[in-house]
Structure 1
């Protein structure tokens, strides 16, 4: 039986330009300094936990600048193909990253198929972004100093 893509089942939200100002305002909410209250149709109310307020503020900030937001648990397991899709890389390149241990993975029991934790993918992506930023800064410094590179 074929497995349905985790990414295809994830909840993705996109903003519209008409509400970006309201989203920007919501994105400036400081968790711990604001309460978010849900009011049901019957009038009952519930205060959201601060963890959820943090998620809402972070999501609102991204939506305000026109980014789509996809909700997945950090413990979600993805296939190498889904990992490649998420990172915007080819599946064979991701397989090499998994083989080298640059992105941790584990094998399914009694199988050669691998799974990758979303948290590990995000950690790899953050490391990669830091390296790219470092290279950009070095290139800028060399250019400012008039050095060939």
Structure 2
């Protein structure tokens, strides 16, 4: 019995560790090694652009939305804005999740992380869906929403 319990616990620890290592590897490589990363290369504002975006499992229970920014992005620029993430889903398939809304809005107060000179915004993503019809990002005032301060960046038909 102890042996079986040890094997089960070892498998759990190994799988979590394996996902975390894989996650870290993709960030270290600028998402170049992640097959489901989407190239974007669009500007929010001058000096701040989205290069790639991906949804990656960080561990068994946590999925992350990773936004790779331009390599010369500065924390001062990122952290003076809030980031809106609007997720549009199939209305028939996710009717209950949408609750008669057109999209699910997630405001984020982003912080910049750097991994091997690559700059990222890392966002926990809790929606349990397989595919999104469209996801839209834009910057707005950090303290409260007064107006949109950037060009919106829209990505269609993305698997999670």
Q: Same fold (TM over 0.5)?
A: no
More strand by share: 2
More helix by share: 1
Give the TM-score taking structure 2 as reference length: 0.22
Larger radius of gyration: 1
Give the TM-score taking structure 1 as reference length: 0.23
